[in-house]
Amino acid sequence: MDDRPPVIIGAGPAGSRAAATLAAAGLAPIVLDEAPRSGGQIYRRAPAGFTRPYRALYGFEAAKARRLHDAFDRLAGKIDYRPDTLVWDLRQGALHCLSGGQSRAVPYRDLILAPGARDRIIPFPGWTLPGIYALGGAQIALKYQGCAIGTRIVFMGTGPLLYLVAYQYAKAGAMVAAVLDTAPFAAKRRALPGLLRGGAIFAKGLWYVAALRARGIMVANGVRPVAAEGDAAVSALLYRDAAGRERRLSCDAIAFGFGLNSETQLADLAEIPFIFDPVQQQFLPERDIGGRTPVRSVYLAGDGSGIAGADAAELSGERAALALLEDRGHDVARPRIATLERKLRDIAGFRVALETAFPFPADIAAGMSDETILCRCEAVTAGEFRRAAGALKAGEINRAKAFSRCGMGRCQGRVCGPAAAIVLAAALNLPPERIGRLRGQPPVKPIPMAVA
Ligand SMILES: Cc1cc2nc3c(=O)[nH]c(=O)nc-3n(C[C@H](O)[C@H](O)[C@H](O)COP(=O)(O)OP(=O)(O)OC[C@H]3O[C@@H](n4cnc5c(N)ncnc54)[C@H](O)[C@@H]3O)c2cc1C
């Protein structure tokens, strides 16, 4: 048996459960996370010293958040937990980690990648105005810092997070001007039989919508953003309602997002092959239900391997840790593995219903106006991107990036890449899977020049 400690990237639900599983088997994994405290996105902890109660911070998820946090805290002394540590590169068997302004290499043999997800963005005219946030960013401001992003806020986009964050703002006392969902009502009706399989999760979703309406907040389906307006900062959102009528809502902040994208750059640097997932409409690293990848000793867990939510993240974290243990020659409990896999399959079925209810509005990206800033890091408009790609006959997203600089800035295409692929696919009249995906590049997140 090889007793070198495995390394886990991410201390969210997936990484936390993986760490607990490995620790229970007598291994002391290294757990790296760029955040100052464990918990990940959904169970993000407030800064030390903040005293808001669990119920106020996590609502229905308070008991789960406490259980996960307590379980992780009990691992102290049994794992090597390194918070405030950003893994910015992975090459030749080592992770390159930035912590305290210094980069150090952490060699690994067995690795569990559990880096979670980020908001899925589709640029629309005016989206770079001050006062406009991703939904997740708006939630972090509220959950972590106890701040609202504005005094009159429009929530726009689609997916469960849209309603959850709008509800959290309304409950915190912020003025929610409207919740505008791009998904048509008919899509939700169509998804109903599958959604009902979600039990409590579906019931919570209905409750959020009812609670928003009970507060007199307008909730509209089937909308399309037209433009954010404003001079120094956003002052209104122009949109088309389901009947195609143009409407204007005054506001001083907009939170928007169209679901989530898995964080896959580290998987890419680990040379895991990718395949196009037709349900989630994105390229994902290959793995089996146990989290094993075609690259030996590298495992995937949680939303970083495909969006499935917090409960699935915990289950897949445990499952990946059991796969790792099994591959190291430990005895593992077969019945437990069977239970984990059955639950993961059930959640995957519910996920299909969610994607049906909240379809990704690819048409917004495909029809993006030429003037819209597509890549804000490099200030490349959709028109410049189309022209550069067209003139130089780039039929693949990485070539289009080289010709246009779209995706070459600080975010390395994490924000604009998925939308840029759809813009290119539409311009060439090809399906998005033919356009490919932006290859992961180090640094996977911005770091100081002096470090690289
Ligand atoms: C902004 C945001 C808010 C969300 N809020 C909710 C919510 O309120 N309710 C809900 O049901 N779902 C929410 N989700 C979905 C939610 O993320 C998941 O379902 C769940 O948290 C997934 O767990 P995970 O362990 O896979 O990933 P996460 O919880 O995202 O944890 C991943 C961890 O990896 C760390 N990490 C990532 N990259 C690196 C790196 N390169 N180096 C070091 N550390 C790294 C992150 O700091 C993070 O702590 C949210 C998603 C996002 C993006």
Instruction: Check residue 373 and report its DSSP letter.
Output: E
Query: What letter represents residue 289's amino acid?
Result: I
Nearest-atom number in ligand 1 for the CA of 303 is 26
Q: How confident is the model at residue 3 (pLDDT cuts 50, 70, 90)?
A: low
Residue 309 near ligand 1, beta carbon < 6 Å: yes
CB-based contact 289:337 (threshold 8 Å): no
- CA 34 – CA 29 distance, rounded (Å): 16
* pLDDT of 319 higher than 60: yes
Residues 181, 183: Cα–Cα separation, whole Å? 5
For residue 433, the SS3 value is helix
68 lines ligand 1 (CB under 6 A): no
Residue type at position 317: G
Specify the pLDDT at position 425.
94
Helix (H) or strand (E) segment spanning residue 190: helix 185-196
Q: How far is the CA of 10 from the centre of ligand 1 (A)?
A: 8
CA of 144 to the centre of ligand 1 (A): 13
Site to probe by mutation for ligand 1, drawn from 41, 264, 316 as the one with most ligand atoms within 8 Å of Cβ, is: 41
Amino acid 394: pLDDT: 75
- Measured in Å, residue 55 CA sits from the centre of ligand 1 at 20
Contact 34, 85 (CB under 8 A): yes
**Could you tell me if the CB of 121 is within 6 A of ligand 1?**
no
Give me 352's structure tokens.
């299909």
Which two structure tokens, joined as six digits, stand for 101?
Answer: 């302004």
3-state SS class at 113 = strand
pLDDT > 90 in the chain, percent: 91
Q: Is the CB of 136 under 6 A from ligand 1?
A: yes
CB distance 257 to ligand 1 below 6 Å: no
Q: Is the CB of 260 under 6 A from ligand 1?
A: yes
- How much distance in Å is there from the Cα of 276 to the middle of ligand 1? 22
**Separation between Cα atoms, residue 443 and residue 452, nearest integer Å:** 8
Dist. CA 401 → ligand 1 center (Å): 27
Question: Using one digit for the tens of pLDDT, what is the confidence trace for 108-137?
Answer: 999 999 999 999 999 999 999 999 999 999
State the distance from the centre of ligand 1 to the C-alpha of 116, rounded, in angstroms: 4
Give 396-447 pLDDT, tens digit per residue. Answer: 899 999 999 999 999 999 999 999 999 999 999 999 899 999 999 999 999 9
Q: What are phi and psi of 320, to 5 degrees?
A: -65, -40
Q: What is the mean pLDDT of residues 92-118?
A: 96
State whether the beta carbon of 222 lies less than 6 angstroms from ligand 1. Answer: no
Q: Which of 37, 34, 33, 43 is nearest to 7 (CA)?
A: 33
Ligand 1 centroid, distance to 383 Cα (angstroms): 33
pLDDT score, position 2: 58
Q: What is the pTM of this model?
A: 0.96
**pLDDT above 80 for 391:** no
Q: Whose CA is nearest to atom 37 of ligand 1?
A: 115
Quickly tell me which residue has 């307008």 as its tokens: 218
Q: Does residue 290 have its Cβ closer than 6 Å to ligand 1?
A: no
| Ligand 1 contact via 106 beta carbon (within 6 Å) | no
Q: For the chain, give the mean pLDDT.
A: 95
Is the C-beta atom of 262 inside 6 A of ligand 1? Answer: no
Contacts of 393-397 spanning 24+ positions with Cβ under 8 A? 394/424, 395/428, 395/430, 395/434, 395/435, 396/435, 396/436, 397/421, 397/424, 397/435, 397/436, 397/437, 397/438
Specify the pLDDT at position 395: 82
Q: What whole-number distance in Å separates Cα of residue 46 and Cα of residue 167? A: 19
pLDDT score recorded for residue 49: 85
Bridge partners, 133 (sequence order): 255
For the chain, percent of residues with pLDDT exceeding 70: 99
Local confidence band at 199 (pLDDT 50, 70, 90 cut-offs): confident
Spacing, Cα 413 to ligand 1 middle (Å)? 19
- Rounded Cα distance, 417 and 424, in Å: 10
Residue 390 has pLDDT above 90, yes or no: no
Determine the distance separating the centroid of ligand 1 and the alpha carbon of 235, expressed in angstroms. 31
Q: 119: which strand partners?
A: 260
The DSSP line for 184-239 is -HHHHHHHHHHHHTTTHHHHHHHHHHHHHHHTT-EEE-S-EEEEEEESSSEEEEEE
Quick check: CB of 86 below 6 Å from ligand 1? yes
For residues 284-312, give the mean pLDDT: 97
205 C-beta closer than 6 A to ligand 1: no
Residue 100 Cα to ligand 1 midpoint, Å, equals 22
Residue 216's pLDDT is 97
